[in-house]
Amino acid sequence: MNEQYGHDIEDLHVGMSASFAKTITEADIVLFAGVSGDNNAVHTNEEFAATTAFGGRIAHGFLTASVISAAVANRLPGPGTVYMGQQLRFLAPVRPGDTVHATVTVKSVNLDKARAVLETVCRVRETVVIDGEATVMTTSAARRAKAAAAAATAVTFNGFGRMPAGSADTTINVTNPLGTCEKDGGSMRCLRVVVSTAGRVRSCDPQLTTTNPTSPQAC
């Protein structure tokens, strides 16, 4: 999980599911109309709405759908998740006072892109009022580790090509993931990059420091 207790992409698997519930109030409908600019009388005018096929006021469809967003943001995958897309079908009306239960279920996971596809369903009691599918981008433990490693080996220079005052020479080990380095008893030649405070950069071989310390390539 990430530092906000949201699921990383590595945590997800097909079939994982979570829900979030919210009761749609009169205040929610009024505020949503004001924020969105959607003042359709079927949402805001009881006398008019009573003459429609719904027989009374109903909540905005996207107000109801926002409960899915809450499920994604607060439950699964959770904090740190970013919407990439959402498909929706509005199947039944939601009225003031109804409690909407949004359930999200993982359908597929793409580790390389840190993306997941979720089945999204909203219910009021036993009635499905919205269904659809969301594509989201999640946080990634692998990407955090890679960023941390890059930050650990970062070197900052000033406008004169030197490191800031008070800095020390920086050494960066260049390892080989395919085997063990010679200095550790293996057969792989692993180099080292040394950056001096004067801005000079050179590569060297730690193994030569032991076997041939006078070599120009020794560290």
Q: Which of residues 105 and 163 earns the better pLDDT score?
A: 105
pLDDT of residue 141: 92
Which option is the CATH number for 9-140: 3.40.50.300, 3.30.450.40, 3.10.129.10, 1.10.3720.10?
3.10.129.10
pLDDT of residue 146: 77
Domain chopping of the chain, boundaries:
9-140, 166-219
Looking up tokens 């004067």 gives 198
Calculate mean pLDDT across residues 32-47.
97
Q: DSSP labels for 46-115?
A: HHHHHTSTTSS----HHHHHHHHHHHHHHTSS-TT-EEEEEEEEE-S---TTPEEEEEEEEEEEETTTTE
Residue 154 has pLDDT above 90, yes or no: no
pTM equals 0.70
pLDDT of residue 31: 97
